[in-house]
Structure 1
Amino acid sequence: MRGTGKAEVFAMLAHPVGHAKSPGMFNELFERLGLDSLMVPVTCAPERLDEFWAGMDAMSNLKGVIVSIPYKVPMLAKAETAHPRAARVGAANILRRLPSGGWEADNFDGYGFVLAMKNKGHAMAGKKALLVGAGGAGCSIAFCLAEEGVADLTIADIDPARAARLAAEVQAAFPACKVRAGAADPAGMDIAVNATPVGMHAGDPLPMLVANLTPGMVVFDIIMEPAETRLLAEARARGCHAEPGRPMMDCQMQAMSDFLDAERKNRG
């Protein structure tokens, strides 16, 4: 039976939180495994985050928190320790309770993307890549692409200054990768990634210049809904490997579950 007084509690924090998939996915997992655990969607106005977190932190049965927009940056500051994946991008998308009572942060956005790419057999080392979007997810993906050995990375964003800052940070961390800010043009690329929300709604423009997509190129759209974005349809029509966002989320979920020990694999 789930949801007893002895239940382990996890939270999904976002504002708004209604779009979040993690609570449903984790609660389905807990149900399947017969675990007395539950994940609860929670939200608050951004200006009340400190007040809100004081109460959450005081919950001794709160074991972990998955974090989404707009809280990834401020929640990193709530952790006493952080994995380099989170520290280098300055944002966390998950926190877990430590035995001390404090919190440890990590960021699995880029990790989930890389694992999804590998699961589909797409090599990254030595390739040329275009990343559209220098926000939270894009930032994490940029570092992970460079870490995987991408030879050349172009970062495009609606805010050119933000793209330039991210390019400089990734270049400094991974000197072997040639990183620059540029246009959302996939001409000559091996990999093209949309890490923006452009494409979630009917009537959205295309996030990149699809006329320059070529057969054999990997086009990855991190959007989960719709599963078949206009970008993916255009890519598939041009003979590209069109990869949707759900596998990235599935990979992130497994990594998050392991990080939280949500399945209680490592406890006697």
Structure 2
Amino acid sequence: MPVGGKSTVYFMIADPVDHAKSPGMFNGLFETENIDAIMVPVSFPVSGFETSWSSFEQMKNLRGMIVSVPFKGLAFAHCQHANPRASRVRAANAVIRQSDGSLLCDNFDGAGFVEGMKRNRHVMRGKRALLVGAGGAGASIAFCLAEEKVESLTICDIDGDRASTLARLVAEEFPQCQVTTGAPDPRGHNLVVNATPVGLKPDDPYPLDVDRLTAEMTVVDIIMQPRETRLLQRAKAIGCAIQFGQEMMDCQMELLADFLQVRGKVEVE
């Protein structure tokens, strides 16, 4: 459907934004389902967030946004309403304008991760999980792993205070889960998750100690590009079960489409 003056506008905000897959995926959805809408990638520095967000609030035809690094926490703080998944991590990756003009946010990182794991029949319940990365996506995944009843969860981050704070919050909400902080060492774990951007570049180091991976482990990398990161290549060579980041994104796509209310909104001239 050609874009016109009546088209609904969605943004994908990130800095940088050139790696983002969401605009292409959503615009493909709009075309396939004959939806009069467009998603535009938008990038600006963190220092310009306040000015940019104020402009977004004034845009009458801006229906919603997908939010990525480094704006997830800022977007959450600037929305009038938040669903529980966003509130518990204080970070948003989706925003929708409600009928009264107020902004509602949610977070689908962890939900997309869990759904992707289930679709590929990777068991989480009862696992001893190592999560590397306590940022926006990592925090969301941490809560959802505990919610899925992993036996234990070790959280690792280069920012020790951030890892400790996340571990405390997850333990408070899910006391049945043994939550600790630790080093990026997979020994003693059977589910290993990289929730950092380490691996995006070909010369990046490994995000964890790959020499201590063993064949009975399941290794997950949430990075989408490259599809098979160096971590996943190494894990596969060892004999580990692996999970690609694209599965998480595909499942998030469905959840985001429902939240942003783009399904079935076909306009006939």
- TM normalised by structure 2 equals 0.96
**Structure 1 stretch 183-192 or stretch 91-100: which is displaced more?**
183-192
2:54 corresponds to which residue?
A: 54
SS of corresponding position for 2:192: strand
2-structure distance, mates of 1:112, 1:42: 23
> How far did 1:265 drift?
5.7
Q: Is 1:68–2:68 an aligned residue pair?
A: yes
Contact 2:222-2:248 within 8 A present in 1 as well: yes
Query: Number of residues paired by the alignment?
Result: 267
Contact 1:2-1:35 within 8 A present in 2 as well: no
Write out per-residue CA displacement over residues 182-232 of structure 1, whole angstroms, 9 at most, x where no aligned residue.
Answer: 011111212000001111112211111122222231100011111111110
Q: Identity of aligned pairs, percent?
A: 53
2:117 corresponds to which residue?
A: 117
Contact 2:185-2:208 within 8 A present in 1 as well: yes
> How far did 1:44 drift?
2.1
SS of corresponding position for 2:78: coil
CA gap of 1:68–1:2, structure 2 versus 1, over 3 A, is same
Contact 2:107-2:140 within 8 A present in 1 as well: yes
2-structure distance, mates of 1:52, 1:131: 33
1-structure distance, mates of 2:45, 2:202: 28
2:3 corresponds to which residue?
A: 3
Name which structure has the greater RCO, CA cutoff 8 Å, separation 6+.
2
- The residue type equivalent to 2:47 in the other structure is E
Q: CA RMSD in A?
A: 1.4
2:141 corresponds to which residue?
A: 141
**Structure 1 stretch 98-107 or stretch 49-58: which is displaced more?**
49-58
Unaligned runs of 5+ in 2: none
- The residue type equivalent to 1:239 in the other structure is G
SS of corresponding position for 2:263: coil
> How far did 1:32 drift?
1.1
2:201 corresponds to which residue?
A: 201
Contact 1:2-1:38 within 8 A present in 2 as well: no
1:235 corresponds to which residue?
A: 235
> How far did 1:18 drift?
1.7
2:96 corresponds to which residue?
A: 96
Unaligned runs of 5+ in 1: none
SS of corresponding position for 2:44: coil
> How far did 1:15 drift?
1.5
2-structure distance, mates of 1:142, 1:54: 32
Moved over 3 A (4+): none
- The residue type equivalent to 1:82 in the other structure is A
